[in-house]
Every structure is written in C-alpha cells, then in structure tokens.
C-alpha cells in the first residue's frame, strides 16, 4: 500500500495541488487534470472501465472547495462544480504523479 503524502497543498492562484511524497518527490498537479481523473462511479463506468468525465469535459475554472482525509488511505475532494464523490486513494494519486500526463 502506498504511504500517505507528506504534504498536500492547494495553490488556488495557480490552480494546482502540490503533492509531496515520503521519498522526496514533489508534483504540482493541475486541478483540471485531477478533476478529469476522478475515479468515482459517475466519472468511470464501474463495469466497462470507460471514462465518462475526462479532462476536456472539466471547466477551465475548476476549483477545490474542500478536501478531507478519508481514513489514512484517500483524499476526498469537493469541487466547485458540485462534484464530491471522488475518493483519491494514495495509490491513485501516486500513479497520476508518475504519469504526468498533463505535461504531455
């Protein structure tokens, strides 16, 4: 199991979430990308794995309205588009950090 991040900081002016891990790696992940990688059942079809809400579907002005830890395994994010069902597990976040798809 992935160890929790050592730092999670929302930087509103740049619309990025700063994520630091125990190994010292740091990532600044755009809100829009993160919202477009929401793993919940209304964003990804549970049966087919098809993604229903992808990064291009997310408004440019997306913001994090609130975030809370769920147990010690995930971050639950409330977005300003009223979406709040996404649980970002450390595994999922870590994978997104390593993929860096938003830089492509």
In which element (H, E) is residue 99 found?
helix 90-99
Question: Cβ closer to Zn ion: 21 or 38?
Answer: 38
Question: Cβ closer to Zn ion: 29 or 43?
Answer: 43
Question: Cβ closer to Zn ion: 26 or 91?
Answer: 91
Residues 104, 97: Cα–Cα separation, whole Å: 13
Short-list 75, 43, 76, 80, CA closest to 64: 80
Where along the sequence are the contacts to Zn ion (CB under 5 A)?
A: 38, 40, 43, 86
Question: 78 and 32 in contact (C-beta within 8 Å)?
Answer: no
Residues 82, 12: Cα–Cα separation, whole Å: 17
Nearest approach, Cβ of 53 to Zn ion (angstroms)?
A: 6
Nearest approach, Cβ of 83 to Zn ion (angstroms)?
A: 6
Q: Which residues contact 24 (CB under 8 A, 6 or more apart)?
A: none
Nearest approach, Cβ of 26 to Zn ion (angstroms)?
A: 25
Nearest approach, Cβ of 7 to Zn ion (angstroms)?
A: 24
Question: Cβ closer to Zn ion: 11 or 52?
Answer: 52
């Amino acid at each position: 199991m992935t160890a929790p991040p050592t730092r999670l900081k929302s930087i509103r002016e740049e619309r990025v979430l700063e994520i630091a891990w125990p190994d010292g790696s740091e990532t600044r992940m755009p809100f829009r990308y993160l919202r477009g990688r929401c793993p919940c059942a209304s964003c990804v079809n549970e049966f087919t794995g098809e993604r229903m809400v992808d990064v291009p579907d997310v408004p440019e002005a997306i913001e994090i309205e609130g975030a809370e830890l769920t147990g010690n395994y995930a971050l639950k994010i409330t977005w300003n588009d009223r979406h709040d069902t996404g649980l970002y597990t450390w595994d999922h976040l870590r994978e997104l950090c390593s993929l860096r798809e938003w830089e492509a």
